[in-house]
Chain A
Amino acid sequence: MPIIECKNLTMAYGSHIALRDLSFAIEAGDYLCIVGENGSGKSTLIKGLLGLQQPKEGKIILNGITHREIGYLPQQSMAQKDFPASVKEVVLSGCLSYKHRTPFYSADDKIKAAAALEKMGISDLEKRSFRALSGGQRQRVLMARALCAADRMLLLDEPAAALDPQASAELYALIGDLNKKEKMTIIMVSHDLDAAGKADKILHMANGCAYFGSTEQYYHSDVCHHLTGGGHHHHA
Chain B
Amino acid sequence: MLESIAVMFSYGFMARAFIVGILTSLCLALLGVSLVLKRYSMIGDGLSHVGFGAVAVAMALGAAPLAVAVPVVMIAAFLLLMISDDGSFRGDAAVAVISSSALAIGVMSASLSSGINSDVHSYLFGSVLAMSKSDVMLSVAVSVAVLLLYVICYNRIFAITFDETFGRATGLKVDKYNTLLAMLTAVTVVVGMRMMGALLISSLVIFPALSAMRVFSSFRSVVICSALVSAVGFCIGIAASYWLNTPAGASVVIANLVIFLTFSTVGAVLKTNE
Q: Spell out A's residues near B (CB within 8 Å).
A: 50-52, 67-68, 70-72, 74, 79-80, 82-86, 89-90, 92-94, 96-97, 103-105, 129, 131-132, 145, 149-150
Q: Is the CB of B153 within 8 A of A52?
A: no
Chain A to chain B contacts (Cβ below 8 Å), 16 pairs: A51-B169, A52-B169, A71-B170, A72-B166, A74-B165, A80-B162, A83-B219, A89-B162, A90-B162, A93-B162, A94-B170, A97-B171, A105-B155, A129-B217, A131-B217, A150-B170
* Contact, CB under 8 Å: B219 / A70: no
The CA of A72 and the CA of B166, in the complex, are separated in Å by 7
B214 to chain A: closest residue by CB:
A84
- A151–B154 Cα distance when bound, in Å, is 25
The answer to the question of B7 belonging to the interface, with a C-beta cut-off of 8 Å to chain A, is no
Q: Is the CB of B162 within 8 A of A72?
A: no
Smallest beta-carbon distance A161→chain B, Å: 16
B residues sitting closer than 8 Å to A (CB atoms) are: 37, 151-156, 158-159, 162-163, 165-172, 213, 216-222
Asked if residues B218 and A70 are in contact (CB atoms below 8 Å), the reply is: no
Are the CB atoms of A67 and B171 closer together than 8 Å?
yes
- Pairwise interchain contact B168-A52, C-beta atoms closer than 8 A: yes
Residues from chain A with a CB closer than 8 A to the CB of B213 are 82, 84
Q: How far is the CA of A105 from the CA of B151 in the complex (A)?
A: 13
In contact, A85 and B158 (Cβ under 8 angstroms): yes
Inside 8 A of B166's CB, which chain A residues have their CB?
72, 74, 93, 145, 149
In Å, the complex CA distance between A84 and B221 comes to: 9
In the complex, what distance in Å separates the CA atom of A52 from the CA atom of B163?
A: 14
CB–CB A70/B158 < 8 A: no
A129 to B213, CA, bound (A): 12
Given known contacts A84-B217, A89-B218, A103-B152, A96 and B168 CB-to-CB distance under 8 angstroms: no
A84–B218 CB distance below 8 A: yes
Apart from A93-B158, A96-B155, A96-B156, list 20 A-B contacts with CB within 8 A.
A50-B168, A51-B169, A52-B169, A72-B169, A83-B37, A85-B217, A86-B217, A86-B219, A89-B220, A90-B162, A92-B155, A93-B162, A96-B159, A96-B167, A96-B170, A97-B170, A97-B172, A103-B151, A103-B153, A132-B217
